Amino acid sequence: MTDVDILIIGGGPAGLAAAIAAHEAGCRNVLLLEREPALGGILRQCIHAGFGMHVFKEDLTGPEYAQRFVQRFHALGLSAQCDTMALSVTPDREVTAVSPAFGLQRFRAKAVVLAMGCRERTRGALRVPGWRPAGIYPAGQAQRFVNLDGWMPGRRVVILGSGDIGLIMARRMTLEGAEVLACVELMPFSGGLTRNVVQCLDDYGIPLLLSHTVTEIHGRERLEAVTVAQVDAQRKPLPGTEQRFECDTLLLSVGLIPENELSRAAGVRVSEVTCGPLVDDALQTSVPGIFACGNVLHVHDLVDHVTVESTEAGRQAAKYARGQGEAGHPACQMLQIRDGAGVRGLVPQTVCAVRVADALPLMFRPAAVFKDAAAVVRLDGEEVLRKRFRILTPGEMVRLVVPKEVLERHAGAGELTVEVTV
Amino acid sequence: MIQGMMQDESDVLVVGAGVVGCAVAREASRHALRVCVLEQAGDVAEGSTKANSAIVHAGYDAVPGTAKARFNVRGNALFEDWCRELDVPFVRNTSLVAAFDDRDLAALEALRLRGERNGVPGLRVLAQDEVRALEPNISRSVIGALLAPSGGICCPYGLTFRLAEHAAANGVAFFFERRVVDVARAADGLWQVTTADGAVFRTRAVVNAAGLYADELNNMVSAQKLSITPRRGEYLMLDKQYAGTFRATIFQVPTPLGKGVLVSPTVDGTLIVGPTAEDVGDKSDTRTTADGLRKVVESAARVWEQVPAGGVIATFSGLRAHGDRDDFLVGEAPDAPFFFNAAAMESPGLTAAPAVAVWLAEQIGRALDAQRATHYVQHTATWKPFREMTDAQRIAAIADDPSYARIVCRCENVTEAEIRAAIRSRIGARTLDGVKRRTRAGMGRCQGGFCTPRIIAILCDELGLTPEQITKFGGGSNLLVTTHGARPATLGLSPERRESRVGRREVCHD
Amino acid sequence: MSERTVTCIGCPMGCRLRVTLEGGQVSEVDGAACGRGAAYARQECVCPTRQVTTLARVRGRREPLSVKTAQPIPKAMILSCVEEIHGVCVAPPVRIGDVVVQNVCGTGVDVVATMEVMSKKGGAA
């Protein structure tokens, strides 16, 4: 059994930022576990640009963004074990892990930071009927094949889902020599950034079929074609609108799911809305001393937000490890955060208002597309903050900051809601 | 006569490497007989065996006096021991047949009586409160149920793989990608079995365990024609999160088409829901349909009010070999001596397999006047899955083989050691699905999202193949197209291990 | 005189900008909700550029090297630049920022590595 102050599970942008923050907060016994052979997480395979516009005021590629943190991580003398899989986390913060270099290891941590990221929704979960041939891949897996392994999944591609991963892969596959026939999107709007629709689809003449979905898979051994149909307002396929696309590859960009198996096993309560742990303003989960940040907490769009969130988690974990977690606030009356109309997945879900340092950051996804709207924050029903937005879309997570003074003015409030009004 | 490649003579030739064929081969190998198995696909368990409910039925459903009834009950009694001997999972989780109205209750009573006549132990009709005490999550519209304590669950392809390994350890030769196109009596009285590639196998006794194609085989030699209709069943697999919802396998009152949609825990900790029952025209039509999947959910909702739509991790369909005699066709064809049928083995075919195998092997042994094998290998070793080990066992396994310390499938905790063992075993995996069904890698909630690239690399390394040669399940199911760049980097194995083994796979003994 | 429609990528609004061109010059931009839109539209119509991110090969390694054009290049040259980059095989070690292709397709823009490759087999730190 090895004692550590802070054990971080996951060496992507979340884990790296948390580790750096914990070190900078004075914690000197920090260990990070990463299951891949190198640090960087999902950024290693995101070779496109668009990362770091907020944090570095630069337009970096994924690997470059990751490298900034990897370099700082090493420069600070922080410890990481790669090729290491965390097998379990107990509510007492004992972590069991296994790796070829060190075999089975058990750690006892004063604080644990969960930074495991997320996985992709699969064809099985979508229940697309038809055959089960080779050639159907989650878009992120195809991204890994192409960008990390140097393998090509196929030659004639249809993409289901117009979230950023699907859009990015439309361009990647095209530049690596494949023909991308269409991007098929269930909703009447794209789930990704407009920049990506233009630079990944429009630039290459790839049609975006909104309000469409794949209704059948053809091909016994290798994919041969997919049937695509238009959908109605209830997202049900409209008979008679079917068209057939002859293709050998179907990439699925149909949703990301935070990876909380370890969390659940540790007794961490998980939100049904975000699919991530329920956390308070310190990003602490329902299990004392276990913190969560990054995509494992809720699926982010901008890695810059992951960095900011994870920096806070690392700071808080360090505080907890030093025994200062709850100190100073013996009677912490928790403010409950609830999703109002038009809002989905507010994080954190509870707040100790007294403990908030300068401001309380809140993140959520709009439940639909809203133009010329306002996000309204209420404390016990009373409006305390209003922020106008030219546009709100489910594809872009919103970050709102509630100043400490606002919380102080309504000390003792029981509930904070955020809603969208047009 | 087709002039072709003559193979060695055998005493027993089994057509079909599903659970029935492999079980017969294993039992036959207890005799001092030369046994071989011909399989049209590239691996064992590629037909109905890999796509069914995995239930070990109690036997109340089969009509008394039928072969189904006889072999179901006997097979159920053998199943636990067989699984223990072969180191594969079996859980006697019991079965419940749910009733929703008085008509159903009457049907339960009829099933109970039928079961008693078949020799099924412990059958009892439970009242609503008893049912709810056993299964708190069952729907409130269930007013009673038939409890069959002997019902169980297993892993059909895991069992088949171990049966095949055990058979191979005892001298059985397996020939894959050999589709039988003709069976005929030679002048000297031996059977001549011709495969699609022109090879001719000569044997004293043929066992027809050809699944969906058993009718075609039977009809080549017997005037007592059999007709098999593929009856498709669609299924949904639900995440392990829901494993605790039910303990027993929950059936509904059977219909003429079959046992109906069931909800059951599996030995892997997932939950299976299904099947439908739809006769299809094509013996390879294992497509799922929007209609079929919808019907599964609708029917399951009768016993499970909150079927979690978001909890589905996989869907699949399997074909049952429904014979026109409504019963198994087991035994020597009356007009074709030394041709033994194990045909029309739709449900309860899996359950019956051990009993059919034991009985047929006895018949064959007697017919061939065979002695017992002198050096029968009682137990073949297999790798222990990392996920089932204690920490102490894990430490020991890693000390012995460091590749036990590298997790490849994160969802199911499958290590590199097990995957390599699965590829290197006697009836080794050569495809992604082959690895999947031997180790569970890729069967978890991410459905191969994390492990697939790693498994491809390991298959390349073990088999001396390039990535674009790796297939999902053989044939044309290649996963990748021509890569740009160099061959995959070696994973540290010595060059001898990387000789190419491309080509048809055979496991033979001199 | 001709008209083109351009989708602005400045923010999620994705304003559809109607651009009037006269003699190859932008005379009018209509439909922008903010000032950035007009600037973007002008660039897009007169000389659209793109930063290109793709892969080059590394000697002795299966895994590719991620690279990018150091600056945006003319959009019309994307595919030929990618082709030139694909033809390159880089010898390790490689540091972020190392020039992998100089003056790709005569654009005056270099292609640089965006990841690190150590000289020993095994890849990035």
From chain A, pick out residues whose CB is under 8 angstroms from the CB of C68.
Answer: 47, 49, 61
Mutate to test the interface with A, among C15, C17, C65, C68 (most CBs of A within 10 A): C68
- Do B489 and C62 count as a contact with CB atoms less than 8 A apart? yes
Confidence of residue C119 (pLDDT cuts 50, 70, 90): confident
- Do C114 and A61 count as a contact with CB atoms less than 8 A apart? yes
- Do A153 and B481 count as a contact with CB atoms less than 8 A apart? yes
Confidence of residue B488 (pLDDT cuts 50, 70, 90): very low
A233: exposed, middle or buried (C-beta count within 10 Å: 0-12, 13-18, 19+)? exposed
Confidence of residue B22 (pLDDT cuts 50, 70, 90): very high
Q: Sign of dihedral through CA atoms A12, A15, A19, A24?
A: positive
Return mean pLDDT, chain B. 92
Instruction: Find chains touching chain C: ≥3 CB pairs under 8 Å.
Output: A, B
The superfamily in CATH containing domain B92-152+229-321 is: D-Amino Acid Oxidase, subunit A, domain 2 (3.30.9.10)
Calculate how close chain B gets to A165, using CA atoms only, in Å. Answer: 15
Q: Evaluate whether B340 touches B473 at the Cβ level (below 8 Å).
A: no
Task: Say if residue B265 is preceded by a cis peptide, omega within 30 of 0.
Answer: no
Mutate to test the interface with C, among B468, B482, B484, B487 (most CBs of C within 10 A): B484
Q: Evaluate whether A309 touches A283 at the Cβ level (below 8 Å).
A: yes
Assess whether pLDDT exceeds 90 at residue B506.
no
Cα separation, B339 vs B322, in Å, equals: 20
From chain C, pick out residues whose CB is under 8 angstroms from the CB of A393.
Answer: 12
Confidence of residue C30 (pLDDT cuts 50, 70, 90): confident
- Do A175 and C82 count as a contact with CB atoms less than 8 A apart? yes
Q: Give, for B358, the enclosing helix (H) or strand (E).
A: helix B349-367
Calculate how close chain C gets to A288, using CA atoms only, in Å. Answer: 34
- Do B489 and C64 count as a contact with CB atoms less than 8 A apart? no
Q: Is residue A46 helix, strand or coil?
A: coil
pLDDT given for residue B509 in this prediction: 41
DSSP sequence for A267-306 = T--B-TTTSSB---TT-B-SSTTEEE-GGGTS--S-HHHH
Cα separation, B53 vs B262, in Å, equals: 8
Assess whether pLDDT exceeds 90 at residue B147.
yes
- Do B485 and C121 count as a contact with CB atoms less than 8 A apart? no
Calculate how close chain C gets to A391, using CA atoms only, in Å. Answer: 6
DSSP sequence for A126-152 = HT--B---B-EEEHHHHHHIIIII--B
Q: Is C2 on the interface with A (CB under 8 A)?
A: no
Calculate how close chain A gets to B129, using CA atoms only, in Å. Answer: 31
Same fold, A1-119+256-327 and A329-422: no
B contact residues 403-442, partner A, Cβ 8 Å cutoff: 403, 405-407, 410-411, 413
pLDDT given for residue B330 in this prediction: 98
Assess whether pLDDT exceeds 90 at residue B496.
no
Q: Is A94 on the interface with C (CB under 8 A)?
A: no
Residue in chain A nearest B431 by alpha carbon: A134
Calculate how close chain B gets to A67, using CA atoms only, in Å. Answer: 23
pLDDT given for residue C26 in this prediction: 85
Residue in chain B nearest C121 by alpha carbon: B489
Provide CB contacts within 8 A for B394, sequence distance 6+.
Answer: A98, A104, B386, B404
- Tokens representing B340 are 């033994």
Q: What are phi and psi of A252, to 5 degrees?
A: -105, 120
A121-154 pLDDT per residue, tens: 998 888 999 999 999 999 999 999 999 999 999 9
As a whole number, mean pLDDT of residues C62-82 equals 95
User: Mutual orientation of helices C78-86 and A164-175 as an angle, nearest 10°?
Assistant: 70
- Do B293 and A131 count as a contact with CB atoms less than 8 A apart? no
Domain limits of chain B? 92-152+229-321, 386-493+501-507
Q: Is residue B152 helix, strand or coil?
A: strand
Q: Evaluate whether A135 touches A158 at the Cβ level (below 8 Å).
A: no
Say how far residue B499 (Cα) sits from the centre of its chain: 31
Sheet holding A212-218, edge to edge: A212-218, A225-230, A243-246
Q: Evaluate whether A175 touches C82 at the Cβ level (below 8 Å).
A: yes
From chain A, pick out residues whose CB is under 8 angstroms from the CB of C116.
Answer: 67
B360-380 pLDDT per residue, tens: 999 999 999 999 999 999 999
- Do B449 and A140 count as a contact with CB atoms less than 8 A apart? yes
pLDDT given for residue B8 in this prediction: 72
| Nearest alpha carbon to residue B39 among B56, B61, B54, B24 | B24
- Tokens representing A189 are 């709007």
Q: Evaluate whether A280 touches A350 at the Cβ level (below 8 Å).
A: yes
Of C31 and B397, the one with more pLDDT: B397
**Residue carrying structure tokens 């963004």:** A65
Q: Evaluate whether A36 touches A16 at the Cβ level (below 8 Å).
A: no
Q: How far is CA B90 from CA B56, B87, B165, B202, B309, in A?
A: 9, 9, 18, 37, 28
Q: Evaluate whether B167 touches B35 at the Cβ level (below 8 Å).
A: yes
Q: Is C31 on the interface with A (CB under 8 A)?
A: no
- Do A104 and B394 count as a contact with CB atoms less than 8 A apart? yes
DSSP state letter for A365:
E
A270: exposed, middle or buried (C-beta count within 10 Å: 0-12, 13-18, 19+)? middle
- Do A145 and B407 count as a contact with CB atoms less than 8 A apart? no
Q: Sign of dihedral through CA atoms B46, B48, B50, B51?
A: positive
Calculate how close chain C gets to A111, using CA atoms only, in Å. Answer: 27
C38-53 pLDDT per residue, tens: 888 888 888 899 999 9
From chain C, pick out residues whose CB is under 8 angstroms from the CB of A195.
Answer: 9
Mutate to test the interface with A, among B414, B445, B459 (most CBs of A within 10 A): B445
Assess whether pLDDT exceeds 50 at residue B475.
yes
- Percent of chain B scored above 90 by pLDDT? 89
Of A85-99, B5-19, B175-189, C2-16, least confident by mean pLDDT is C2-16
A331: exposed, middle or buried (C-beta count within 10 Å: 0-12, 13-18, 19+)? exposed
From chain C, pick out residues whose CB is under 8 angstroms from the CB of B453.
Answer: none
- How many residues belong to chain B? 510
Cα separation, A164 vs A397, in Å, equals: 13
Q: What are phi and psi of A143, to 5 degrees?
A: -65, -40
From chain B, pick out residues whose CB is under 8 angstroms from the CB of A144.
Answer: 453
Residue in chain B nearest A264 by alpha carbon: B241
A18: exposed, middle or buried (C-beta count within 10 Å: 0-12, 13-18, 19+)? buried
Interface of C with B (CB under 8 A): 57, 60-62, 64, 86, 121
Bridging pattern class, strands A398-403 and A359-366: antiparallel
Say how far residue B270 (Cα) sits from the centre of its chain: 17
Assess whether pLDDT exceeds 60 at residue B498.
no
As a whole number, mean pLDDT of residues C82-106 equals 95
**Residue carrying structure tokens 């892990």:** A97
Angle at B440 between CA B434 and CA B445, to 5 degrees: 120
CATH fold, domain A329-422, is Immunoglobulin-like (2.60.40)
Among C8, C53, C75, select the one facing A61 at the smallest CB separation.
Answer: C53
Contacts within 8 Å (CB) and 24+ apart, B391-395: B391/A96, B391/A104, B391/A106, B394/A98, B394/A104, B395/A103, B395/A104
As a whole number, mean pLDDT of residues B85-90 equals 97
Q: Give, for A95, the enclosing helix (H) or strand (E).
A: strand A94-99
Q: Evaluate whether B427 touches B164 at the Cβ level (below 8 Å).
A: yes
Q: Give, for A170, the enclosing helix (H) or strand (E).
A: helix A164-175
Q: Is B453 on the interface with A (CB under 8 A)?
A: yes
As a whole number, mean pLDDT of residues C67-94 equals 94
Assess whether pLDDT exceeds 70 at residue A328.
no
Residue in chain C nearest A147 by alpha carbon: C64
Assess whether pLDDT exceeds 80 at residue B507.
no
Q: What are phi and psi of B333, to 5 degrees?
A: -65, 130
Biggest distance spanned by C-alpha atoms of chain A: 67
Residue type, position B159, single letter = L
- Do A98 and B481 count as a contact with CB atoms less than 8 A apart? no
Provide CB contacts within 8 A for A191, sequence distance 6+.
Answer: A161, A162, A163, A164, A185, A394, A395
- Do B478 and A176 count as a contact with CB atoms less than 8 A apart? no
- Tokens representing A267 are 């007794």
**DSSP bridge pairs for B174:** B37, B507
pLDDT given for residue C120 in this prediction: 61
Mutate to test the interface with A, among B177, B312, B315 (most CBs of A within 10 A): B315
Q: Evaluate whether A170 touches A142 at the Cβ level (below 8 Å).
A: no
Provide CB contacts within 8 A for A412, sequence distance 6+.
Answer: A333
- Percent of chain A scored above 70 by pLDDT? 98
Confidence of residue C5 (pLDDT cuts 50, 70, 90): confident
Considering just the CA atoms, what is the radius of gyration of chain B in Å? 23
Among B487, B488, B489, select the one facing C121 at the smallest CB separation.
Answer: B489
Calculate how close chain B gets to A150, using CA atoms only, in Å. Answer: 7
pLDDT given for residue C13 in this prediction: 75
Cα separation, B171 vs B150, in Å, equals: 34
Among B290, B398, B475, select the one facing A103 at the smallest CB separation.
Answer: B398
A34-79 pLDDT per residue, tens: 999 999 999 999 999 999 999 999 999 999 999 999 999 999 999 9
- Do B453 and A138 count as a contact with CB atoms less than 8 A apart? no
Q: Evaluate whether B424 touches B497 at the Cβ level (below 8 Å).
A: no
Confidence of residue C125 (pLDDT cuts 50, 70, 90): very low
Provide CB contacts within 8 A for B386, sequence distance 6+.
Answer: B394, B397, B404, B407, B413, B414, B415, B417, B418
Of A315-329, B63-77, B327-341, B344-358, least confident by mean pLDDT is A315-329
Q: Is C36 on the interface with A (CB under 8 A)?
A: no
Cα separation, C118 vs C125, in Å, equals: 7
- Do C62 and A150 count as a contact with CB atoms less than 8 A apart? yes
DSSP sequence for B58-71 = -SSSSPTTSHHHHH
- Do C62 and B484 count as a contact with CB atoms less than 8 A apart? no
pLDDT given for residue A326 in this prediction: 55
Domain limits of chain A? 1-119+256-327, 122-254, 329-422
pLDDT given for residue A320 in this prediction: 95
- Tokens representing B107 are 């049907």
Q: What are phi and psi of A103, to 5 degrees?
A: 70, -150
Task: Say if domain A1-119+256-327 classifies as CATH 3.50.50.60.
Answer: yes
> What amino acid positions of B are annotated as catalytic residues?
57
Return mean pLDDT, chain A. 95
pLDDT given for residue B254 in this prediction: 82
Of A317-326, A386-395, C97-106, least confident by mean pLDDT is A317-326
Q: Is C80 on the interface with A (CB under 8 A)?
A: no
pLDDT given for residue A380 in this prediction: 95
Calculate how close chain A gets to C123, using CA atoms only, in Å. Answer: 8
Query: SS3 sequence, C70-89?
Result: CCCEEHHHHHHHHHHHHCCE
A200-255 pLDDT per residue, tens: 999 999 999 999 999 999 999 999 999 999 999 999 999 999 999 999 999 999 99
Domain limits of chain C? 2-46, 53-113
What's the CATH class of domain A122-254?
alpha beta
What's the CATH class of domain C53-113?
alpha beta
- For the entire predicted model, the pTM comes to 0.93
Confidence of residue B4 (pLDDT cuts 50, 70, 90): very low
DSSP sequence for B422-455 = HHHSTT---SHHHHHHHH-TT-STTTTTTTHHHH
